[in-house]
Structure 1
Amino acid sequence: MEYKVIKPDPSLTDFVDSFWMLKSEDNQNKEIIVLPDGRVDIIFEWSEQNPLHVMLMTLDQAASAATLPARTIMFAVSMKIPALEYILDIKQTMNSHPKLLPNDFMGITSDDLKDFDSFVDRISRSMLTTAQSKNIDSRKKKLFEMIYETDGAMTVGLLAERSCWSARQINRYFNDWTGISLKKYSNILKFRASFAQLREGKLFPRGEFFDQPHFIKLIKKLSGVTPKELSKNKNDRFIQFSASTDK
């Protein structure tokens, strides 16, 4: 299984976390576990059995089983929350399901899945054109900069104070666009931030966790397993854990 990640151009960092490619050259399907990671993915998938199709994935709130089809290529955009409003204009709810998008979404064709760098360049230009036609609210820009820079460690009260946006308005925004509260979203970011240390076998909480029981409880809640089991990642079944390059 081949995996590659490209970070976005600085002009897109308010909206895009990363671009990634996943290529399975196995002749058999692979059972995997998809973990919550705080990102909303647009996945362009092609396989020998199925033509190109494009899916807008949901903001996962718990681990879920999935199947990676044999001999499949996936190119994807992992987006931050503001992209839902400013790039896609699509709201998600707690009951949202993956949304099938047009096969030529953002001008991408099956030919663009032959070269990952060219794919990133083309879809970046398309997204930038959309973003430049809108002005992001300065309060939202500041809010999300703090959320992502601290991996969800800041309290709602402090975020509200420093972004000059009330906690009530912030939570209303999150519930309106994602279907979850800021606190729940922040916990997902803390969970994702723990991947780097768990890969090193460090099974203890860092500064964003209150204590060891809180750390263990959150890992189990969002992955379904203990920190020790997640760190072992038997058979690479936790796909984002295997592929994560966060430090």
Structure 2
Amino acid sequence: MNYQTYKPHKDLESIVKFYWTLEVPFDSKNQKQKIVPDGCIEMTFNFGDKIKRFTSETEFILHPNAMVMGQRTKSFNILPVGNVDSLAICFYPIGFANFVKTPLENLVDKEIPISELFEQSEAYELEQQMIQAIDTQKRIDTIENFLLKKLHEKNTISNIVKSTVNTLLKTNGTTPINVLLKEDISKRRQLERHFKKQIGISPKQLSKAIRLQATLNLMLNKKSETLTDIAYENEYFDQNHFIKDFKELVGVTPKQFLGNENMTLSSLFYK
């Protein structure tokens, strides 16, 4: 696998976390790969062969070639049918709402063709420009021109959403929502409503996904030696709480995750 990341333009760096590319030659021995929630929304362009996303053990759908993957509340399995050649834009949790009017709760755990989120003519033109681009830098230039142009039409992100997301990112998802809102029930209801529209998932779900990211970084980069250390570092109540949350989002326990060939791609994303 050849996985690379690229920094965004300075005018996009508060919205776009990074761009990534992935190239994987076809191998009939390739196994399904589990993708885990990360708290981000991604726009992906596939220049290679189709990719299956499994909806059950044997049933699957094929990813659109140009799509947006909404917030994920659970892990899922993918498997390419041939060569992989993809580029993706990884948006911060509050990033993608700047570019569309569609409530992001409609995108949760779904892959939506970009033609359904933008005007069909501009979506078609963007996809063709990406296909015709001669290299990765040209593809990045193309998508950045598109995003910068769309920012002039941007929707306003509510301050309560911005401040909450920023705090969750700074604290790796460990700050309880009731602490952020100082037990103000009316603010909590307002936050839940704005979150569903502008982030797609609830503050609690985003908090869990962000904490999972921090946990995987510790596990895969061996910054902590034991599960107890990891639970302590990420402020879980105890090891059982850590294992329960991990399995809820990933589908397996932390021990089952490490060294699992179905987790190779997810592991690559966090190293």
**1:90 maps to 2:84:** no
Residue in 1 aligned with 2:25? 25
The normalised TM-score by structure 1 is 0.84
SS for the counterpart of 1:151 is coil
User: Distance between the aligned counterparts of 1:148 and 1:215, measured in 2?
Assistant: 19
Within the candidate set 149, 157, 164, 1:143 is matched to 164
Query: How well do the aligned residues superpose, as a CA RMSD in angstroms?
Result: 2.7
How many pairs are equivalent?
Answer: 239
Amino acid at match of 1:130: K
Residue in 1 aligned with 2:35? 34
Amino acid at match of 2:14: D
1:41: Cα distance to partner? Answer: 1.1
* Structural mapping, 1:74-223, within 5 Å: 74-93=86-105, 97-102=110-115, 103-105=124-126, 108-112=129-133, 114-134=134-154, 136-160=157-181, 166-199=187-220, 200=222, 202-204=226-228, 205=231, 206-223=233-250
Distance 1:179 1:49, change over 3 A: closer
For the 8 Å contact 2:97–2:157, the answer to whether it is kept is no
Amino acid at match of 2:45: F
User: Distance between the aligned counterparts of 1:175 and 1:193, measured in 2?
Assistant: 23
Alpha-carbon displacement from aligned partner over 1:117-153 (angstroms, at most 9, x marks no partner) = 3322331232123224445544443332222222212
User: Distance between the aligned counterparts of 1:107 and 1:26, measured in 2?
Assistant: 24
SS for the counterpart of 1:47 is coil
Distance 1:133 1:212, change over 3 A: same
1:62: Cα distance to partner? Answer: 1.1
Amino acid at match of 2:65: H
Amino acid at match of 2:47: W
What 5-or-longer segments of structure 1 have no aligned partner?
Answer: none
Amino acid at match of 1:146: T
1:223: Cα distance to partner? Answer: 0.9
Alpha-carbon displacement from aligned partner over 1:1-21 (angstroms, at most 9, x marks no partner) = 110112323422332122110
User: Distance between the aligned counterparts of 1:210 and 1:49, measured in 2?
Assistant: 42
Residue in 2 aligned with 1:243? 269
For the 8 Å contact 1:34–1:238, the answer to whether it is kept is no
SS for the counterpart of 2:32 is strand
For the 8 Å contact 2:71–2:201, the answer to whether it is kept is no
For the 8 Å contact 1:216–1:227, the answer to whether it is kept is yes
SS for the counterpart of 2:23 is strand
1:176: Cα distance to partner? Answer: 3.0
Distance 1:22 1:155, change over 3 A: same
Alpha-carbon displacement from aligned partner over 1:178-234 (angstroms, at most 9, x marks no partner) = 4432111101110111111111254231143222111111111111111112122x2
**1:4 maps to 2:4:** yes
